[in-house]
Structure 1
Amino acid sequence: MNFRYRLEGVDKDWQDAGTRREAFYDRLGPGKYRFRVIACNNDGVWNEDGAHLDFKIAPAWYQTTWFRLLYVAAFLAFLWGLYQLRVHQLRKAERKLREAIETIPAMAWIAETDGMVQFMNRRWVEYTGLSRLGTVGELGKDVVHPEDLDRSVRRMGASFASGEPFEDEVRVRRANGSIGGF
């Protein structure tokens, strides 16, 4: 007696098994399968109906949808943790920078490239009496001596455009109205 078999969804054609009564399949993934067998008698007549066996291979724990969702959630949580760690590091560095700026014996402020002042140290606030933030130009009009203002604004604009550091000395109005150097 000769046999042919076919695993639907895996085998395209019938596999000739000869007289062997076994079939081997490696690496079948999870899913539903139908295994079909047909045989021929000693006269060479094939039974076209044959027999079939339906079976299901359950997914391994790491192939399940809930595991994949959990994996994605864990990965996103890991990325969120890295982000939070970096934010914490940047805030710590910013605190250190602000502490350093507060302890230097000079008036200092920090501005973005668009001219918006982001920070003024305590010495600047105490000396000028200005604690509000705004653009460098607006603040300069209030405290910088008019003869120094245009030159300083031009140099600062060039610094912003080139990205080069900027340092300048100008006469600044004190909180009591008198003019001093900066």
Structure 2
Amino acid sequence: MNTIKRCDWVTDSVLYQHYHDEEWGVPVRDDRLLFEYLILEGVQAGLSWITVLNKRAHYREVYDHFDARRIASYDEAKQAALLADPGIVRNRLKVGAAVINAQSFLKIQDQFGSFDTYIWQFVGGQPRQNTWAVQKDVPAKTAESDAMSKDLTKRGFKFVGSTICYAFMQATGMVNDHIVTCHCHAAASR
């Protein structure tokens, strides 16, 4: 029997396995997708990622496919409708943060030309290749995620603590944190 070796945090969930194998750690340069990850990582604060992953398709639907321009203009009525929607995490602070973060995201795009240009500067424009032997060696935050968090906060973003920023860096392939025995490690290193 040939079993695929994955990172230890992956469960038996097919959705989780697909996310790990096809998305997590793959470098993302598309601004819309970067924004989606930033919002969803903030939503995850205090929850498990699988909870958010199970709701992601609905988030895409009700958050206008993470169109930052649309989200930046969400008024009180739209936010109230979101808070009444059981298909998302109904947390007033997190819903409000999405609007504030969209507004801040647009300012960064205006200033830097793209969010991609801005956010990838925290790793020098290239993915960091780590070689963790076991999951417990993977840090929850780094000097780079500290710097990212500090700068995003200064620019008005919410739910962007260092641990959230590091999870964002992992998800978007800014760092390769697949453990070395994971079947995805080598592919992410290319």
Scaled to the shorter chain, the TM-score interval is under 0.3
Q: What's the TM-score, normalizing by structure 2?
A: 0.23
Q: What's the TM-score, normalizing by structure 1?
A: 0.23
Structure with greater Cα Rg: 1
By percentage of residues, which structure has more helix? 2
Which one has more relative contact order, counting CA pairs under 8 Å at least 6 apart? 2
